[in-house]
Amino acid sequence: MAHTETHEKTLADKILERTGVDVRECYQCGKCTAGCPMVQFMDLTPSQVMRLVQIGDREAVQTLLSSQTLWSCVGCLTCTQRCPKDLDPAAVMDALREIAYQEGLVPDAQRNVLKFHQAFLKTVEHTGRMSEVPLTALYKTLSRDFFSDVLLAPAMLLRGKLPLVPRVIGGRKEVRRIFKRCLDPERPDRADEETQEDRP
Amino acid sequence: MTTPIGYYPGCSLHGTGRELDQSIRALAEVAGVDLREIKDWNCCGATAAHSLNHDLAVALPYRTLALAEDQGLAEVLAPCAACFSRLKGTAVRLARDPKLAQKMTEITERPYRGTVRILSIIEFINRLLDAGLEAKLTHPLGGLKVAPYYGCLLARGEDIVDDDPEQPSGMERALVAAGCEVVPWNFAVECCGGGLSMSKTEAVLDLSDAILSDAEDAQADAIVTGCPMCHSNLDMRQRTINAAGRGPHDLPVVYLSEILGLAAGIEPERLGLDRHFVDAMRVAERMTERSA
Amino acid sequence: MARVGVFICHCGENIGRTVDCAAVAKAAEAFPGVVKSVDYKYMCSDPGQQMIKDAIRDERLTGVVVGACSPRMHEPTFRRAAFEAGLNPYLLEMANLREHCSWVHEDRPVATEKAIDLMRVMVEKVKKNAELRPIRVPVEPTALVIGGGIAGIQAALDIAGGGKKVILVERSPSLGGHMARLSETFPTLDCSQCILTPRMVEAANHPNITLMTYSEVTKVDGFIGNFEVTVRQKARYVDPEKCTGCGACFEKCPAKKIPSEFDAALGNRTAIYRPFPQAVPNKPVIDAEHCIMLTKGKCGICAKVCPTGAIKYDDKDREVIVKVGAIVVATGFELWDHSAYGEYGAGRLEDVINGFQFERLASASGPTTGEIRRPSDGRIAESVVFIQCCGSRDPKRGVPYCSKICCMYTAKHAILYRHKVHHGRAVVFYMDVRAGGKGYDEFVRRAIETEGAEYIRGRVSRIYRRKDGRLVVKGADTLAGRPVEIVADMVVLADAIVPQPGASRLAQMLGVSYDEYGFYSEAHPKLRPVETAKAGVFLAGACQAPKDIPESVAQASAAAAKVLGLFSQPELEREPIVAKVNEVTCVHCRACIQACPYGAIEDKEIKDSKGNLIRTVACVNEGECQGCGTCVAVCRSGSIDLDGFTDEEVLAEIAALE
Amino acid sequence: MTQTSTKPDAATGADAAAQPWSPRIVAFVCNWCTYAGADLAGTSRLQYAPNVRIIKLPCTGRIDPLFILKAFEQGADAVLVSGCHPGDCHYTAGNYHARRRWGLFRRLMEFTGIDAKRLFFSWVSAAEGQKFADLINAVTDEVRQAGPFDPTNPARKRPWT
Amino acid sequence: MDLAKLRQDAAALLADGRAGLVIGFRERAGACVPAFVTDADQADALVYDDTCIANLAAYLRKPEIRQRRPVALVARPHVMRSLILLKAEHQLQGDDVLVLAVGDDTYHGVLTLAEAERLLNETYADLATDAQVLAEIERLEQMSPEERARFWSEQFAKCTRCYACRAACPMCYCERCIVEKNVPQWISTAAAGHGNYAWNVIRAFHLAGRCIECGACEAACPQGIPLMLLNALLAREARDQFDARPGYDAEAEPVVGSWNKDDDEGFIR
């Protein structure tokens, strides 16, 4: 562990680039930690996350990207709202989560969060919108968490809150193309052919 | 009001948030507002896109904004607080960052000039009040004690929400007009656990329990919200919270639009009040008739 | 015709070693207008100076250039010599052949050539120089001190002790300021009023001090040595000559529920009141806003009970104009209003109080006679949370700076609390402890180590009131890396120190500059810390920056020393390097007025013989101008010039370098 | 000071080829910081290039853009302007005024054909004797690289023809 | 644009004495020239179109015109900015002038100076520099210093020192211009060489942060010197470096003559 170790580009620089937040401005007052509703589900407090980004050496990066915290943040913005330095810890969390996801560093314990997000996006990618039934089914398959919330389903059905037919929009191919371009900007745009069909 | 207001129900308003959809449409009808659903709108991407890919998190709302503009809609109501936050957040970022706007135009192959203004449920209802809805509230709720719950998305976000983030008051005018008594309480802007409802249920139970308890301590008869996500955590999961040994709670959680709908004399079923998990029909019982 | 004398100094070997002084003198002889040019071993020696004096007389010189050391060294010497020989001293210039030439170059021909250049430049300048006379400004040896807190009292006493007259103006009905409200003082825990009140009485009784309480400065004209200040004396409705301070009036006054300013709204006062028992002057005033007689026209009880007939319901505000030579500003500070923090209850939670309120609670003369009772229900607070940096170091919603004194007074509060409620819990949230000062860090350590205060490093995110009336404080312990939640009966916020409201208005009146928060700016942050950029106006205490009592007192004494220095001569002599406006060509665009760092340029109305306004132009006040020349460079029409560095002189210098 | 040849087109007269060209630099400095800094360089006996001629003003706030124009007009190869660091101004704000003026004026100079390499700005405090010496050396070097100020430049005075 | 309304307003102002003089434009030999209307029945001669570039605010410094205050002025947004700036520089009182406001094919009616300020900020808050001028500035910036020197050498060589640029500019209100100052004489008055350079450069610099880019100076130059290149360059720099928006705020401090602690000093060693 060496604070002085230099990198080609520090993590703080990367975060600055992605979010406009300069973590060097953080003076570790802890107000983000004090107000975070999810902090008891975190292994690193939000202020520790900020500190580790400041340190930015290999060990810090490793600790950060594999931490549970990134996947426990709900994005409620309490930290951002109250930060006296006008920083945006929530945005830092978002950026770190994205980096962790890209680098495949999601901790096992947080798989469910990831699976849920993936299931959600898969549903949207295919139909253009989110629908509870295919989403829940897909999530449960991906996460192998078959039993939680099962009790709610009949009651939801009863109240007309669980439409069984997924909603599909006309421009779903367009949405698929958007997905492809965002998720995989490097790959040649095969969706273009599909687009041709879309338009008479 | 003659100019139509665009309508972006968002995915959950067809499912878990059905009563929000129903009550919004019913209320708009009473107020004489032409709500026009955006044709072929798509999901805003919600927390999922935001968590995993920030291009996608902008591109999805961008397409909807572009559609709305193309369809000639200057203002769009997004009653779901999460959708509102995504759509307005995107609009703000696009206005501030021309490079991002250019990139999105390329990704979606749709132009967007930035002319669409997104309204939250609170802004929308205050708009209706400005336009004369107040006179049509013939069935005030007789001093129903309510705890207005703003959660995260209707209180925070500097460029998104136009209200005091710590002590918001956007719902108060409408609630008072509907004959409610607003109780002071502590958890109006605390988070309910939001988007981690399914994947971190444990946390949600804790947070929602605290919110319900504080509203009960403040002697509220009901919690009023504008967010389907908060609603499902506080209403749908209330039994689960009780089952987990907390509470027990028995507190109706209703949408702002439902309260206004009742005060306007709309039948509770038409507003979807019968669809709640925690009996909300008792709120309807507080309707009184004001002699015209 | 110019008759310039040139004198080249060898400075022993210092110049002569690398510069061929004789060659320079020879070359200078050929410059147009030079009638005498000599070199000599030590120009600054008596014989050297005599050479110059003789030449001035014998050759009837109109200008002298001495090529020697830096003018920062010997310009006063040579100018005095010139003066003694009958030449206006400002017709003598120096060329810096030593520091700027012989000492920094080794090549003799090159250094010599440069020396000739330097001489040419100065000869050309001196030919354009004008005779200048020192500016003499009479000084009115009376000082005005604005603010009757500890800094103002100290400054007034020191000036008065030095034998000069002082007018001490205080906005409230009594002297004392914030210090009078404090319970004990850190780090010695001596009683604040016990050490302050003797000073208050001394100031009131001092023959050289005129006290003007319940008064405000409304206008300041003039300049150093010659200010004219308008002071508004608010109507007291009580004749101070007749009043004996017996107190019958406020005991009987029926308007009793007015929040007391002195007790930070934790106690009440009557409409006719004295702010506190030791008030100076110890005579009540009527608060016209709340007096039943003055608002509704009936009551009159105080007049009935007054044994000396001192009550005057028809009293009026009065304006007094005073003439003073110097002003000491000691207007102090106020606490930042924490209602901006919605997450701390937006100022609506009764048991969330500020530091002054805690002082009043802890004070034996306070509303609870020194018991720590919470405002909401009067119960003894069993658990108190103290939060430092409330509004301080918060660039987003508060102020970015450190308020400096909060670490210390919070430690004091925690100690006082633990002394008074032995079983009570005192928790302090802090970000850093800044305790630089004599005995200060020891004091904080004492709070933690022997007085049982629990210090937690982290900020608090939220305070709310539970159903049972107690407060929930959600903070963080960043050292342990976890959130903490404390249930407390009372929370004391160490609100940031901010300038008095209206500080900027007073600054504008005085022509003193201030920072973005409203703290007054000192003339130089290191070397002139008690002066302002406005000549004759000095600073004392927390109006300049957050300060504790000893610092405020030290600065007050320093300001008094400056004032006494200024008053030591009947007239002020200033270097005549000042700007002058050409009133014929000035178009009054006011660029110079806006640019002047000293506010020394004013509008001047030019009128015809009948008094009709013809035009308005800019006008430099010689007493205030410091001679920087910034105005000259912003004047587009070239209508201002700076004596000593005129456009003509500078152009001549540039042209000499062709 | 031994550089001999200059660009042939820079020659202004017959003797130019014979006389080695050396940069002529005019410096406008404030009395309280940079002038004193130069004094300190002297008392410290720091050696530096002899090409600069200092004109002393009370403050950089006094420096009118006309001074700079005039210096170039008279044939200076470069102009240096130097004063107190921000916050150190003897007159509290003269250097701030000057800084803003230069920020605009140097753009205008560049745009009208006076190479930015001929116009130098610096802050030198009374304590920075070494900085002053280094500055003068650096400026002199850079101007020597840039060569003499083109006699056909529109800013420059030309002999009557 | 409602020219009829403009004429009607002008006539009414003169008829009921709210204005002692209306300055506008009339046609002469197919061109727009300034018109000075003192009688209500002459108001019908007023015209306005895009070719009316002269900045009529420049007339306000003339004593014979000042005598007739309040003066009503046909003003496009740039000219309104001149008026606001003149007020900021204490050359006008708020009630000295009325504005017959024209802009973007609209006639906005008769406005007080305060109303004109509001209109500017609401409707014409982003008057951009002419794109061609900007492009030409960028082209010149691409050149080497020598090429630029040559370019300006040729341009300034044309200057006859007629000072039409100065006369056309409302902000050149000095009664004794710096070029006419002879003790000392900073700027050579000979119409050649360095004097022309110094004159044109100092004229532009004296407008730094003050030029509202109306283009009247360049239009007035009989020699076709591209003066707006200099003005627009400084306007751009003042805007980019110091957020200058001259003529939008009658209370604003001058850009040259004020300062900010955080002003750029990247160029200072």
CA distance A8 to chain C (A): 30
Chains B and C touch (3+ CB pairs under 8 A): yes
E206 interaction partners in chain C (CB closer than 8 Å): 636
Domain that holds residue D32: 22-146
Tokens of A4: 């002085």
Tell me: pLDDT of D11 over 70.
Answer: no
**What pLDDT does residue A143 have?**
61
Tell me the pLDDT band of C521, cut-offs 50, 70 and 90. Answer: confident
Question: For the segment C432-469, what is each residue's pLDDT rounded down to a tens digit?
Answer: 999 999 999 999 999 999 999 999 999 999 999 998 99
**What pLDDT does residue D61 have?**
95
B147 found inside a domain:
yes
Question: For the segment D123-147, what is each residue's pLDDT rounded down to a tens digit?
Answer: 998 888 999 999 999 999 999 999 9
CATH number at residue A97: 1.10.1060.10
Tell me: pLDDT of C536 over 80.
Answer: yes
Given a contact cutoff of 8 angstroms between Cβ atoms, the answer to whether E151 and E143 are in contact is yes
The pairs formed by B167-173 with CB atoms below 8 angstroms and a separation of 24 or more are B167/C342, B167/C346, B170/B122, B170/B123, B170/B126, B171/B122, B171/B224, B171/B226, B171/B256, B172/B148, B173/B126, B173/B129
Give the span between the Cα atoms of E236 and E79, in whole angstroms. 19
What's the domain count of chain A? 2
Question: For the segment A156-182, what is each residue's pLDDT rounded down to a tens digit?
Answer: 666 666 665 666 788 888 888 888 888
**Measured in whole angstroms, how far is the alpha carbon of residue B231 from the centre of its chain?**
9
For residue A89, give the nearest of C440, C476, C575, C119 by alpha carbon.
Answer: C476
Hey, which chains touch A, using 3+ CB pairs under 8 Å? B, C
- Give helix then strand counts, H and E, for chain E: 10, 5
Question: For the segment E89-143, what is each residue's pLDDT rounded down to a tens digit?
Answer: 999 988 899 999 998 788 999 999 999 999 999 999 888 888 899 999 999 999 9
**What pLDDT does residue D83 have?**
94
The whole-number average pLDDT for the span C551-579 is 94
Q: What is the 3-state secondary structure (H, E, C) of D59-100?
A: CHHHCCHHHHHHHHHCCCCEEEEEECCCCCCCCCCHHHHHHH
Give the span between the Cα atoms of C120 and C34, in whole angstroms. 10
CATH number at residue D99: 3.40.50.960
**Measured in whole angstroms, how far is the alpha carbon of residue C85 from the centre of its chain?**
43
Instruction: Name the superfamily (CATH) of residues C336-498.
Output: FAD/NAD(P)-binding domain (3.50.50.60)
**Measured in whole angstroms, how far is the alpha carbon of residue C464 from the centre of its chain?**
40
B127 found inside a domain:
no
Does the distance separating the beta carbons of C396 and A33 come in below 8 Å?
no
Query: Reduced to 3 DSSP states, what percent helix, strand and coil does chain E have, rounded to the nearest 5?
Result: 45, 15, 40
What distance, in Å, lies between the first and last C-alpha atoms of chain E?
54
Q: Which residue has the higher pLDDT, C358 or A11?
A: C358
Say yes or no: A69 and A138 in one domain: no
Tell me: pLDDT of C114 over 70.
Answer: yes
Q: Which helix (H) or strand (E) holds C474?
A: strand C471-477
Say yes or no: B154 and B269 in one domain: yes
Does the distance separating the beta carbons of E253 and C589 come in below 8 Å?
no
Asked if the domains at C142-234+317-332+500-567 and C336-498 fall in one CATH topology, the answer is yes
Q: Which of A106, A126, A152 is the last residue of a domain?
A: A106
**What pLDDT does residue C187 have?**
94
**What pLDDT does residue B180 have?**
92
B126 found inside a domain:
no
A134 found inside a domain:
yes
Q: Which of A117-131, C381-395, D75-89 has the highest mean pLDDT?
A: C381-395
Tell me: pLDDT of A112 over 60.
Answer: yes
- Exposed, middle or buried, A167 (CB in 10 Å: 0-12/13-18/19+)? middle
D59 found inside a domain:
yes
Does the distance separating the beta carbons of D135 and E269 come in below 8 Å?
yes
Given a contact cutoff of 8 angstroms between Cβ atoms, the answer to whether B58 and B155 are in contact is no
Domain that holds residue A84: 11-106
**What pLDDT does residue E31 have?**
87
Say yes or no: B86 and B184 in one domain: no
Share the mean pLDDT of chain D: 86
B243 found inside a domain:
yes
Tell me: pLDDT of C30 over 50.
Answer: yes
Give the span between the Cα atoms of B60 and B86, in whole angstroms. 9
Question: For the segment E143-170, what is each residue's pLDDT rounded down to a tens digit?
Answer: 999 999 999 999 999 999 999 999 999 9
What's the domain count of chain D? 1
Domain that holds residue B13: 5-121
For residue B162, give the nearest of B95, B226, B85, B97 by alpha carbon.
Answer: B85
CA distance A148 to chain B (A): 8
Residues contacting residue C238 through CB under 8 Å, at least 6 positions apart: C249, C272, C283, C284, C285, C286, C310, C311, C312, C315
**What pLDDT does residue C64 have?**
97
What's the domain count of chain B? 2
Say yes or no: B60 and B161 in one domain: no
**What pLDDT does residue C445 have?**
95
Tell me: pLDDT of A30 over 60.
Answer: yes
Say yes or no: B116 and B201 in one domain: no
A28 found inside a domain:
yes
Share the mean pLDDT of chain E: 92
Domain ranges of chain C: 4-128, 142-234+317-332+500-567, 248-305, 336-498, 577-642
Chains A and C touch (3+ CB pairs under 8 A): yes
Q: Which residue has the higher pLDDT, A147 or C322?
A: C322
Q: Which of A125-129, B89-93, E226-230 has the highest mean pLDDT?
A: E226-230
Q: Which residue has the higher pLDDT, C367 or D13?
A: C367
The pairs formed by C480-486 with CB atoms below 8 angstroms and a separation of 24 or more are C481/A33, C481/A44, C481/A45, C481/A47, C481/A48, C482/A33, C482/A39, C482/A45, C483/A33, C483/A34, C483/A36, C483/A39, C483/A40, C483/A45, C484/A34, C484/C456, C484/C458, C486/C383, C486/C385, C486/C427
Q: Which helix (H) or strand (E) holds C471?
A: strand C471-477
Residues contacting residue B84 through CB under 8 Å, at least 6 positions apart: B78, B118, B119, B120, B121, B153, B154, B160
Q: Which of B121, B146, B180 is the last residue of a domain?
A: B121
CA distance A6 to chain B (A): 28
**What pLDDT does residue A75 have?**
86
D137 found inside a domain:
yes
Say yes or no: A98 and A183 in one domain: no
Instruction: Return the CATH number of the domain spanning residue range E131-242.
Output: 1.10.1060
Pinpoint the residues of chain E covered by CATH 1.10.1060: 131-242
**What pLDDT does residue A154 have?**
61
Say yes or no: B114 and B148 in one domain: no
Instruction: Specify which residues C493 forms β-bridges with.
Output: C354, C387
- Architecture per CATH, domain C142-234+317-332+500-567, reads as 3-Layer(bba) Sandwich (3.50)
Angle at A142 between CA A141 and CA A148, to 5 degrees: 65
Question: For the segment C325-350, what is each residue's pLDDT rounded down to a tens digit?
Answer: 999 999 999 999 999 999 999 888 99
ipTM beyond cut 0.95: no
Interface of C with E in 577-606 (CB under 8 A): 584-585, 587-592, 594-595
Say yes or no: B43 and B73 in one domain: yes
* A33, A35, C486, C565, E82 from C480: Cα distances, Å: 11, 16, 15, 56, 63
Give the span between the Cα atoms of C200 and E43, in whole angstroms. 75
Interface of E with D in 241-260 (CB under 8 A): 241-242, 255-260
Mean pLDDT per 10-residue interval, chain B, length 292 residues: 82 80 89 88 83 85 90 90 89 88 87 90 90 87 91 86 89 91 92 73 85 92 90 87 86 93 89 88 80 49
Tell me the pLDDT band of A189, cut-offs 50, 70 and 90. Answer: very low
A23 found inside a domain:
yes
Tell me the pLDDT band of A193, cut-offs 50, 70 and 90. Answer: very low
**What pLDDT does residue B183 have?**
93
Say yes or no: A53 and A121 in one domain: no
Q: Which of C591, C592, C637 shows the shortest C-beta gap to E178?
A: C637
**What pLDDT does residue E140 have?**
94
Say yes or no: A86 and A131 in one domain: no
Percent of chain C with pLDDT over 70: 100
Say yes or no: B63 and B170 in one domain: no
Tell me the pLDDT band of C237, cut-offs 50, 70 and 90. Answer: very high
CATH number at residue B40: 1.20.1050.140
E205 interaction partners in chain D (CB closer than 8 Å): 65, 104-105, 108
Tell me: pLDDT of C94 over 90.
Answer: yes
Q: Which residue has the higher pLDDT, C224 or D54?
A: D54
CA distance A78 to chain B (A): 8
The whole-number average pLDDT for the span D8-16 is 43
**What pLDDT does residue D96 have?**
94
Say yes or no: B146 and B240 in one domain: yes
Q: Which of A75, A106, A137 is the last residue of a domain?
A: A106
